[in-house]
């Protein structure tokens, strides 16, 4: 029997599956260590007393060692009446005669670069007021804004204090303005005026691609987990002392809550920084998928896929999600390459979160794809596009169809979408309006609650760079290009007209550029940073987004996430060539307009359109999305400018 077959066998599961707590637990009365290591011949605890930075790194040798005792289900434990709070620790685990030194896969605190785990009493890591911290109530729409802790406040023009730039604390700083001008808000205050409801933090778990001992100018997105349950140290003011990053991340979440945002954690359970992970040093082979020839499966494109269909790996992921939700008060999770994870596990995560926090309280969504085939246990149903209907209606997926319809297929460099010269597809368009829901086609969801509509995210070109790529032969990314601006406004107006949750990349609303770099995961901070001067140079575009966000929230027929939300879409038709009209209505709504018409002109000439009977108010056109505040009445016909959207209410 191969190792793979052994781990997959029912006998292994019956003998070793374990549902209890794992990790290190410390109170004034004592400390307990538990490790699941069913294949180990011995497990030894190494303690490194606190006092010097060396103890938090991986220098020096253990001052004390204790063997752990084997127990049922492959769980090894060591228990002492000593309060070991603040002590750093590792394990020496011997499997098949080979001894490996490892941090605790279940560690919740660690020293610099996460190489040594830390004994911690979590009740001592709460910033003032944290036990009373509560997320703001849900509104009728979810508008998620993707933020990278470092790139958001790195730019000097952000006005964030030097010592806080690029740190958790920088994102907490209130009252910052562009170059300190006292007029144009930046950072946290900027977020407050956009109309967004959720902040999705790009990876804030401990990742491996930035040296926490190195200079602050290093940059990486962070999709390379080292310690799944420890915050990243490079965003903290002191990565050497394990309690500091915990307090500072909790402070950030509490601050975002206090400022009206729910907070989503970006989680990457599908692969680790390397195959030589703490999981693999603890139970070699168990937590990963291997091909028949023994090579590691690579459906993630990162060289190793976790075996999330195996019960103890699934438990590990479920425990981790629950830990972040409970201990840090995260309000939701964005699953990287969800298409590598089993539907069964995703549904279990949703059920566990619903049970613990109330139905729908935590928002769950992910990427419903993978980079390549994966060697999951045969029969595993994976949470990819083909299986969205098998997921609970609370679990969402990024909708690449809408994205590609609007700006062109991402996989093809020169592909065009509706806003940059592509053609209208009468089949795809209504599907996107419904957020993929209620379709009997290949890919569909149960309800728009399962759809994350978006134009751009951290991956691939920014929306602006994509538009410049396809519209400007000179590729002048830094320009203020009138045609690309118009296409950008049309793009967000199209997205606003689709049912489902909304998602935008930070800075997209102000024509963010990464100088045409498609995959900037390890590009310089200069490329990745939010350029606050540019944000305010392009404030007209940003205000266009703001107006549409506010307008959308006044249209319950668009915000409806229920399984029969599509009933509000009354008619989709072409009043003229290259023009599309969408009529929406909900007579039960409490919104200011019982009906709305979205008129899109995809042609290069102005078009005159007859409106249906009734008194229509012009709510937005191609340049002003705040017309709805001006109470303008429209006659029976209207003229729509080329490549613009017009929205009417009645």
Shortest Å, Cβ 215 to Ca ion: 14
The piece of 150-158, 198-206, 326-334, 430-438 that touches Ca ion (CB under 5 A) is 198-206
Q: Pick between residue 206 and residue 331 the one whose CB is nearest to Ca ion.
A: 206
Mind giving me the DSSP string for 508-568? GGGT---TT-S--TTS-HHHHS--HHHHHHTHHHHHHHHHHHHHHHT-HHHH--STTGGGG
Mind giving me the DSSP string for 57-78? TT-S--SEEEEPEE-GGGEEEE
- For residues 336 and 84, what is the distance between their CA atoms, to the nearest angstrom? 36
336 labelled catalytic: yes
Give the distance between the most distant pair of CA atoms in the chain.
Answer: 85
| Core vs surface per residue 439-472: b (16+ CB within 10 A) or e | eeeebbbbbbbbbbbbbbbbebbbbbbbbbbbbe
Q: Is 248 in the site for Ca ion (CB under 5 A)?
A: no
- For residues 443 and 453, what is the distance between their CA atoms, to the nearest angstrom? 15
CB 103 within 8 A of CB 116: yes
Q: Pick between residue 79 and residue 522 the one whose CB is nearest to Ca ion.
A: 522
Question: Going residue by residue from 147 to 186, which x/- string records binding to Ca ion, judged by CB under 5 A?
Answer: ----------------------------------------
Of the listed 212, 224, 367, 465, which one is catalytic? 367
Kindly give the residue spans of alpha helices, DSSP state H, lying in 267-393: 278-282, 311-328, 343-357
- Strand-pair category, 569-573 with 579-585: antiparallel
Phi and psi dihedrals of 542, rounded to 5?
Answer: -60, -40
Shortest Å, Cβ 92 to Ca ion: 23
Of 542, 529, 524, 532, give the one whose Cα is nearest residue 149: 529
Position with the least CB separation from Ca ion: 206
| Core vs surface per residue 38-69: b (16+ CB within 10 A) or e | bbbeebbbbbbebeeeebbbbeeebeeebebe
Question: Number of H helices and number of E strands within the chain?
Answer: 18, 27
Shortest Å, Cβ 496 to Ca ion: 38
CB 68 within 8 A of CB 78: yes
Q: Pick between residue 236 and residue 650 the one whose CB is nearest to Ca ion.
A: 236
Shortest Å, Cβ 457 to Ca ion: 22
Question: Going residue by residue from 202 to 241, which x/- string records binding to Ca ion, judged by CB under 5 A?
Answer: ----x-------------------------x---------
- For residues 557 and 541, what is the distance between their CA atoms, to the nearest angstrom? 25
- For residues 130 and 134, what is the distance between their CA atoms, to the nearest angstrom? 9
| Core vs surface per residue 480-513: b (16+ CB within 10 A) or e | ebeebbbbbbbbbbbbbbbbbbbbbbbbbbbbbb
How many residues lie near Ca ion (CB under 5 A)?
2
Of the listed 92, 212, 336, 586, which one is catalytic? 336
- For residues 9 and 358, what is the distance between their CA atoms, to the nearest angstrom? 35
The piece of 44-52, 199-207, 325-333, 462-470 that touches Ca ion (CB under 5 A) is 199-207
SS3 content of the chain, % helix, strand, coil (to 5): 30, 20, 45
Q: Pick between residue 245 and residue 529 the one whose CB is nearest to Ca ion.
A: 245
Q: Pick between residue 236 and residue 646 the one whose CB is nearest to Ca ion.
A: 236
Shortest Å, Cβ 218 to Ca ion: 11
Q: Pick between residue 232 and residue 560 the one whose CB is nearest to Ca ion.
A: 232
CB 217 within 8 A of CB 529: no
Q: Pick between residue 141 and residue 206 the one whose CB is nearest to Ca ion.
A: 206
Shortest Å, Cβ 434 to Ca ion: 42
Shortest Å, Cβ 234 to Ca ion: 6
Q: Pick between residue 202 and residue 468 the one whose CB is nearest to Ca ion.
A: 202
- For residues 600 and 633, what is the distance between their CA atoms, to the nearest angstrom? 19
Question: Going residue by residue from 538 to 557, which x/- string records binding to Ca ion, judged by CB under 5 A?
Answer: --------------------
Q: Pick between residue 151 and residue 232 the one whose CB is nearest to Ca ion.
A: 232
CB 103 within 8 A of CB 119: no
Shortest Å, Cβ 273 to Ca ion: 9
Q: Which two tokens stand for residue 23?
A: 């990790």
Shortest Å, Cβ 165 to Ca ion: 18
Catalytic residue set = 336, 367
Residues interacting with Ca ion, by CB under 5 A? 206, 232
């Amino acid at each position: 029997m191969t190792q793979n077959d052994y781990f997959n066998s029912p006998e292994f599961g019956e003998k070793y599956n374990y549902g209890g707590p794992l990790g290190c637990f410390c109170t004034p009365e004592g400390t307990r260590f538990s490790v699941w290591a069913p294949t180990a011949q011995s497990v030894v605890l190494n303690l490194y007393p606190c006092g010097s930075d060396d103890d938090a790194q991986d220098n020096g040798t253990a001052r004390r060692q204790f063997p752990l005792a084997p127990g049922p289900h492959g769980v090894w434990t060591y228990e002492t009446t000593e309060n070991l709070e603040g002590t750093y620790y590792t394990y020496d685990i011997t499997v098949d005669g080979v001894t490996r030194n490892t941090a605790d896969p279940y560690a919740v605190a660690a020293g610099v670069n996460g190489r040594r785990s830390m004994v911690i009493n979590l009740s001592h890591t709460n910033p003032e007021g944290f036990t009373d911290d509560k997320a703001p109530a849900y509104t009728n729409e979810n508008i998620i804004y993707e933020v990278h802790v470092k790139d958001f406040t790195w730019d000097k023009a952000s006005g964030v204090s030097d010592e806080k730039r690029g740190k958790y604390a920088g994102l907490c700083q209130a009252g910052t303005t562009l170059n300190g001008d006292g007029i144009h808000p930046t950072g946290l205050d900027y977020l407050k005026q956009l109309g967004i409801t959720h902040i999705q933090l790009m990876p804030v778990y401990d990742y491996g691609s930035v040296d926490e001992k190195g200079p602050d100018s290093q940059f990486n997105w962070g999709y390379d987990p080292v310690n799944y349950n420890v915050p990243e140290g490079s965003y903290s003011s002191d990565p050497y002392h394990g309690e500091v990053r915990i307090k500072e991340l909790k402070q950030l979440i509490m601050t975002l809550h206090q400022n009206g945002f729910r907070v989503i954690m970006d989680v990457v359970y599908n692969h680790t920084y390397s195959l030589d992970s703490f999981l693999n040093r603890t139970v070699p082979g168990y937590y990963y998928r291997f091909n028949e020839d023994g090579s590691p499966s690579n459906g993630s494109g990162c060289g190793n896929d976790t075996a999330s269909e195996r019960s103890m790996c699934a438990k590990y992921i479920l425990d981790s999600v629950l830990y972040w939700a409970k201990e840090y008060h995260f309000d939701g999770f964005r699953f990287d390459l969800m298409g590598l994870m089993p539907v069964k596990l995703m549904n279990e995560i949703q059920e566990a979160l619903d049970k613990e926090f109330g139905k729908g309280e935590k928002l769950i969504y992910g990427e419903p794809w993978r980079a390549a085939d994966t060697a999951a246990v045969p029969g595993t149903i994976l949470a990819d596009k083909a299986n969205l209907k098998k997921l609970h209606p609370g679990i969402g997926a990024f909708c690449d169809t809408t994205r590609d319809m609007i700006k062109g297929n991402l996989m093809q460099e020169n592909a065009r979408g509706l806003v940059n010269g592509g053609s209208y597809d009468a089949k795809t368009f209504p599907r996107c309006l419904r957020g993929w829901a209620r379709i009997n086609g290949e890919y569909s969801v149960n309800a728009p609650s399962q759809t994350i509509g978006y134009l751009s995210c951290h991956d691939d070109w920014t929306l602006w760079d994509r538009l410049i790529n396809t519209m400007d032969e000179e590729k002048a990314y830094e320009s203020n290009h009138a045609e690309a601006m118009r296409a950008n406004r049309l793009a967000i107006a199209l997205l606003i007209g689709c049912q489902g949750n909304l998602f935008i990349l930070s800075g997209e609303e102000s024509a963010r550029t990464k100088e045409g770099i498609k995959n900037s995961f390890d590009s310089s901070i200069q490329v990745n940073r939010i350029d606050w001067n540019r944000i305010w140079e392009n404030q007209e575009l940003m205000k266009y987004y703001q107006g549409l966000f506010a307008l959308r929230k006044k249209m319950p027929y668009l915000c409806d996430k229920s399984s029969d939300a599509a009933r509000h879409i009354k008619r989709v038709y072409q009043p003229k060539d290259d023009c599309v009209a969408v009529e929406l209505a909900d007579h039960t709504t409490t919104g200011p307009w019982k009906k709305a018409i979205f008129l899109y002109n995809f042609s290069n000439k102005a078009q005159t359109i007859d409106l249906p009977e009734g008194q229509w108010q012009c709510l937005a056109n191609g340049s002003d999305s705040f017309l709805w505040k001006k109470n303008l009445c429209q006659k029976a016909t209207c003229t729509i400018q080329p490549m613009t959207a017009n929205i009417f209410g009645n």
